[in-house]
Amino acid sequence: MSSSRPQPREVRPVRRWFYQLIMLLLGKPIRYLFRLRPVNTRAVPRSGGAILVANHVTLFDPIWIYDVLRRPVYFVATEELFRGRLLGGIMRWVGAFPKRKAASDLKTMRNMMQVLGSGGLLGLYPEGVRTWDGTNGPLIPTIARLIRRMKVPVYTCRLEGGYLAWPRWASKWRRIPVRMVFSRLYAREDIPESEQQILSDIARAIEIRDYQLPIDDPRHHFTGLAAGLSKVLYRCPNCYTVEGLGAVRPLSTNQIECRSCFSTWRVDLASRVTPVDEHGRDVGESHTVAEWYRRIRDLPLTPIRSALAPLNPGEKLFLVSRAHFLFREKRFPRLRLFAFGRALLTDRRLLFKGKAGIRLDAPLAELDSLSVEPGDKLHFVFRGLLYRIPFRRESPLKWMDALQTLRAPSAGRPGAPAPVSATAG
C-alpha cells in the first residue's frame, strides 16, 4: 500500500504500533462493556490476504470484530461516517474506507484489491445494511462475484445477541451478552464456481438467531425497551394509523400505545411485542418485532390529500413529512444545507417544498443510491448530486419502504435501484 497521504476515498494502511496501542488501551474495556464472547477466533489466521463476512446488526459490529481478532480488519464503511473530521480521521487510521451505499464505485473495488494484494483482512457485510427487525436481509449478488474474482480464503463471523443488545430502532443499550462465532467458509482452492452456491453458503453461516436466544434476566429490570420502536412499527398493528404509536411514559412500563385506538403492547428484553390491557395483563399472543413489521410493511399504500403541492392529473400523494432540513452534496464530503420544508411522496415523484416553493422535484425513476444512514438520514442521488433528509421525528423506514414499493415497477429500466453496497453503517 502507498505510504503517501490518502485522498478522501483511499484506504490507509494500519500502523502496527497504532493497532497495538488501541488494543492495549481499549481491548479489555470493550469486551467487558459489551460482554463479548468470541468463539473460535483462531479460525482466522493472523496474516495473509482474506475476506471476512459478517451479519450486520449494530454500528458497533466493526469495533467488536476489530477487538477480538489479533490483526487489523479493513472494513468498507458507509461514507456518512467519514463526513466528520474527527470520526472520519479515526476510522481511516484503523483501516476503514468509505463507500456510498447502493452505488457502483470503481475506487472502492481498487481499494479492496489493494487491501487483499498487500495481505490484509477485508471486512464486508454482505447484507449491505444493518437489520431493522432482527432478521437477515437479502445478500448482495456482487459479493459472490467478488469472492470468485479475488480467489482468497473466506471467513465468517456470526453475531448472536447483537441485535437484542442494541436494536437499530432502540434509544438505549441492553447489556446482553454478544456471542461472536468465527469459522472458515472457503479455502482458496475450495471456492465454488456457482455464485448462487456462494450466496447460499454465506446466508447459512451468518443467519441471525437472536429471537431464539434465552436472554431473560429476572435479576434486573430493564427500562425504555419500547422507546424508538415506532421507527419500525410506523403503523398501528391494530388500526393501521400511520405514525400512531408512541412509547408510554414513564418508560419503565416498557409499553407502546396507539394514540388513535388506544391499543397497548408491552415490549420485553427479547424484542417481543405482546398486547396488554389497561392493567398491563397479557390479552393476546406475543409476536416478534419482525413479525409485526412484516405485517405492517405488506399493507397497501393509501393515498392522502394535501394542499401543499399541486399534483398532475392522475397523480396520487402518499406521504407528507414534518418540517425537515434538506442537504445537498456536490463533492464528497462537503454536504451543505439546501432547503428547509416538507418532503412529499407521490406515485411519480419525490418533492421537497420550502418557503420559496418546490426546491426539489425528482421523478422516482431517476432516484439512485437510496439508503437510510446512521442518524435516521434518508440519502439518495438525483442527477449526480447526493441529497440527505434527516428524519428526526418520524420513521425513516416508512419513507424507505414506500419509495421501494413505488419504484418496484421500474426495476430493470434506466433509473432502477442500483445494487446496495456491502458497507458498515
pLDDT digits (tens, 9 = 90+) for 13-24: 888 888 888 888
pLDDT category at 93 given cuts 50, 70, 90 is confident
According to the model, what pLDDT value does residue 392 have?
87
The residues, ordered by sequence, that sit 6+ positions from 40 with a Cβ below 8 Å of its Cβ are: 181, 182, 183
CATH of 16-212, one of 3.90.650.10, 1.10.10.10, 3.40.50.2300, 3.40.1130.10: 3.40.1130.10
pLDDT (mean) for 140-156: 94
The pLDDT tens digits for 283-331 are 999 999 999 999 999 999 999 998 888 899 999 999 999 999 999 998 8
Amino acid identity of 361? D
Does 2.60.40.3140 match the CATH number of domain 317-410? Answer: no
Long-range contacts of residues 221-224, Cβ cutoff 8 Å, at least 24 apart: 221/252, 222/174, 222/254, 222/269, 223/251, 223/252, 223/254, 224/170, 224/171, 224/172, 224/251, 224/252, 224/254
In this prediction, residue 82 carries a pLDDT of: 87
Q: Where are the domains of the chain?
A: 16-212, 229-297, 317-410
DSSP per-residue letters across 229-273:
GGGT--B-TTT--BT-EEEPSSGGG-EEEETTT--EEEE-TT-EE
Which grid cell is 75? 472494513
Q: 174 near 220, Cβ under 8 Å? A: no
For the stretch 232-266, pLDDT in tens is: 999 999 999 999 999 999 999 999 999 999 999 99
Identical topology for domains 16-212 and 317-410:
no
